[in-house]
Structure 1
Amino acid sequence: MDAVTNPYAPGAGSQPPELAGRDELIQKTKTTLARVKMGRQAKSFMLVGLRGVGKTVLLNKIQEIAEKSGYVAILLESPEGKSLPELLIPCLRKILFKLDTKEMVNESVKRGMMVLRSFISTVKVNWEGFDIGVDPEVGSADSGDLEADLPDLVEAIGVAAKSRQSSVAIIIDELQYVPEVEFSALIMAMHRVAQKQLPIVLIAAGLPQLVGLAGRSKSYAERLFDYPKIDKLSYEDAATALLEPARREGVSFEQSAVDSVIRLTQGYPYFLQEWGYHAWNIAQNSPITKADVEQASATALKNLDESFFRVRFDRLTPREKDYLFAMAALGPGPHRSGDVASELGVFVESIAPVRSSLIKKGMIFSPAHGDTAFTVPLFDEYLKRVHP
């Protein structure tokens, strides 16, 4: 069939043509944003889930909803090796400039800029050429203690937003990469604005270890935030995600083809897009058959191996790769740490640092004490394909 009209969208964070199975979360988002805008209590929330379940897609959708609701909404991604202040400062500056207007000087917005200027002075990064155009406010957010300074800064921005009868949504992806002490400062900042009922909401996403990281950072984090679990789709929702885009183009699937795609992808949204895309390109006409899906599988797996899987695998050290090969040999998981050690023929204590490193890199997580599981669905099958 015509590759130009192929409706499927495999790609990192690409908006799928049919956002199936996420209605409850979308409604939660709208309710939270509406309550915060009205000055009513509402919990910020953090989406948690494995790779490939569509967390980034949802954050993009949430930003769109927030902006349509009149929010100043900023979406950013937390990469490994970058501090939280480095990440936040350009975005908070952008928020303040959006709250500013040339028609009328607003003292709260101006003060927010001054507090930001104070905050910048404590961050050990070269901000040369990064202009705000105001002097720092001495004594505000300039102590050098992030847990004291960040709440001061976020509060000042909340006051500025309230003075403009506006609201702010800070949306952060890959939050699990934020170091624990910086995570603690972010939680304290959101605790401050919640206490003062300022119109700022934090919506974030990360791997399953995000919940434990939040709890270790501040014990009250479990009461301050909700943690919606984003999982693979049910059979019905997976079928909708696969069939609706094709239906809009006048194309159908045989039922056996639908069953085959859902079995191969296990209902993970990213993989559904991948299989749908390649099955469409291989099929000669409608309906798409099980034979088309089976033929597409080789292309889909090759593409995943060379991109989705490999980009993560190539970042690892030889010892980390051996650890994952041992996990794969045991099956999909989760696995006890002792079983992985036995597979490697070593003591558990000797590979504990390797396990910790893999958790920090976002390759594995601990669903329960002593257990280890892959954060990337179907990664065990990939490792068996590439194991020398």
Structure 2
Amino acid sequence: MERLFEYRTIGRLSEDDTANGFQKPARQLGRPFSDDALKELVRASRGYPYFIQAYGKAAWNASDSNPIPLTAVMDGEPLARKELDSGLYLSRWQRAKASGRHYLAAMAAINGDDMCQSADVAAYLGKTTKETSAARDSLIRLGLIYAPEHGKVAFTVPGMGEFITRTTPTESQTYDH
């Protein structure tokens, strides 16, 4: 079978590259961000390209000032979070079956967004690692988690654990397969 696409991992950008991701297009359009607004955007986006897009758009839309002030970033933050919740996190949650959702929720409860031990996830669920291996493997195949080291798991998307603990998505969410 011929591959039609080449996939590349895009990680976090440096603080300078993140700042440029916000400031360069804003300057080109004649409405740059103030220094304190830019500093907050860099912090909030954590250097992740999709986050840069969401936070930049929300701050831009929340202001007609020049330069765009910190207040616009703060006013736009709930809108950016809502866009990330519905467009990034919820769609990933919906891909998992019930057993996978339990596994994801256990990961979030144990260590938030940080890497955790597969054995700890199983123990949290009251099961053995063998009993949870099918759910774990399914989540890895779906690209929702990965195994950075033997016996450890982590979310592939930054902030996923925080989303799960903050919103407590329900079991009744549609399963997209």
Task: Give the alignment's TM-score, normalised by structure 1.
Answer: 0.42
For residues 124 and 32 of structure 2, the distance between their equivalents in structure 1, rounded to whole angstroms, comes to 46
Hey, what's the Cα distance between the residues in 2 that align with 1:358 and 1:344? 16
What secondary structure does 2:113 align onto? coil
Higher relative contact order (CA 8 A, sep 6+): 1
Higher strand share: 1
Which residue does 1:220 correspond to in 2? none
Per-residue CA deviation, residues 55-76 of structure 1 (Å, 9 max, x unaligned), is xxxxxxxxxxxxxxxxxxxxxx
The CA distance in 2 between the partners of 1:264 and 1:343, in whole Å, is 31
Matching residue of 2:174:
none
Alpha-carbon separation, structure 1, partners of 2:125 and 2:36:
41
Aligned twin of 2:119:
338
In 2: Cα distance, 1:171 partner to 1:294 partner: 41
User: Residue 36 of structure 2 aligns with which residue?
Assistant: 256
* Paired letter, 1:205: Y
Deviations 1:254-288 (A, max 9, x none): 22211111111110011101111110011131111
One-letter amino acid matched to 2:133: A
Q: Which of 147, 151, 157 pairs up with 1:366?
A: 147
CA–CA distance in 2 between the matches of 1:386 and 1:251? 34
Displacement of 1:171 in angstroms is 4.9
Structure 1 runs of 4+ off > 6 angstroms? none
AA partner of residue 87 (structure 2): S
Question: Which whole-Å CA distance do the structure 1 matches of 2:93 and 2:113 have between them?
Answer: 16
The 5 Å alignment of 1:68-217 reads 85=1, 88=2, 171-172=4-5, 204-205=6-7
Question: What amino acid is aligned across from residue 140 of structure 2 in structure 1?
Answer: I
**CA RMSD for the aligned pairs?**
1.5
Which of 221, 239, 245 aligns to 2:25? It is: 245
Q: Is there any run of 5+ residues in structure 2 with no aligned partner, and where? A: 170-177
**Which of the residues 38, 47, 51 maps onto 1:267?**
47
Distance 1:338 1:290 in 2: 44
Give secondary structure in 1 for the equivalent of 2:24.
Answer: helix
Q: Which residue is equivalent to 1:351?
A: 132
Letter in 2 for 1:351: T
The residue type paired with residue 318 of structure 1 is A
Local SS of the residue matching 1:314: helix
**Once the two structures are superposed, what CA deviation does each residue of 1:198-235 show, in whole Å capped at 9, x if it has no partner?**
xxxxxx215xxxxxxxxxxxxxxxxxxxxxx6321000
Tell me the percent identity.
36
Taking the aligned partners of 2:167 and 2:156, their CA distance within structure 1 comes to: 18
Distance 2:88 2:43 in 1: 19
Give the SS at the match of 1:373: strand
Superposition deviation, residue 320 in structure 1: 0.6
Q: How many residues align?
A: 168
Which structure has the larger Rg over C-alpha atoms?
1
Matches within 5 A, 1:281-300: 281-300=61-80
5+ residue gaps, structure 1, are 1-84, 89-169, 173-203, 207-228
CA distance in 2, matches of 1:230, 1:304: 17
